[in-house]
Amino acid sequence: MAEAVTLHSLVERDREHECEGYGLAKVCVRVVGVADLPTRFGEFRIVAFWNNRDAKEHVAVVHGDVLDRDDVPTRLHSECLTGDALGSLRCDCRDQLEVALRALGAMERGCLLYLRQEGRGIGLINKVRAYALQDTGLDTVEANLALGFRDDERDYAIAAHMLKSLTIRSVRLMTNNPAKIRQLTQYGLQVSGRIPHVIPSNPFNRFYLETKANRSGHFMDLAGKPRLPEQSDFVLVEGMPLERLDTAD
């Protein structure tokens, strides 16, 4: 009888793994470490990945059995030092991360990829420069363009390969960003559904969220338009006012 595949067995499987890679950069990943990760949001395991493109260390945070499964609830979360670690109110990243982990931890199974793509892919220093431009009145898209970047420099080829390495067959993607759905599909990962990620705005990030909705095409209602039926069940973040029920990616 063949030995059952486990997260730990993926480390040995990938020890000599090489492939043609995903995307224009031909990125290839290997599972290189697995450990238990008890958190305030639930019991998880953390899976560390090596990649052949750069020195960035991406991880998957896994709850339950996701191996060789269909319709796995999945969140792609891009690193945000100012939000995730420092609690900045200029974005909604920390709330997105905590709400996602809490939701996935309450499900039978789920997966969150923590991707080292600070500042929508432009890096921390350039994000601070973009913030300075926003302080003068530019929106987040205009600031990126002024610095010579695209609106969003993130590439989800590495996310697609990570999910394939975890033998996940299809995902229900927790997002309001159509680019994530489009890119995963482009790289051969089946997106079987979308789970809206509803986060209230605050006075410091509302303009940022409006820009994401109006200029970046995110699935958000910030102008009083009727919500899609799937967006009718709000996720409330502890400590946020109940009257603000806007959405963000």
Q: Which residues are catalytic?
A: 152, 154
- Is-contact 155 116, C-beta < 8 A? no
Order of strands, sheet of 72-78, starting from the edge strand that comes earlier in the sequence:
29-39, 42-51, 58-63, 110-115, 72-78, 170-174, 190-195
Instruction: Supply 48's token pair.
Output: 């560390």
For residues 226 and 137, what is the distance between their CA atoms, to the nearest angstrom?
A: 29
Number of neighbouring beta carbons within 10 Å of residue 232: 10
For residues 10 and 28, what is the distance between their CA atoms, to the nearest angstrom?
A: 15
For residues 246 and 249, what is the distance between their CA atoms, to the nearest angstrom?
A: 11
Three-class DSSP category at 188? coil
- Is-contact 31 164, C-beta < 8 A? no
With both helix axes pointing from N to C terminus, report the angle between 157-165 and 178-186 in degrees, rounded to the nearest 10: 60
How many alpha carbons lie under 13 Å from residue 99 in its C-beta half-sphere?
Answer: 23
Burial class (CB in 10 A: 0-12, 13-18, 19+), 135: exposed
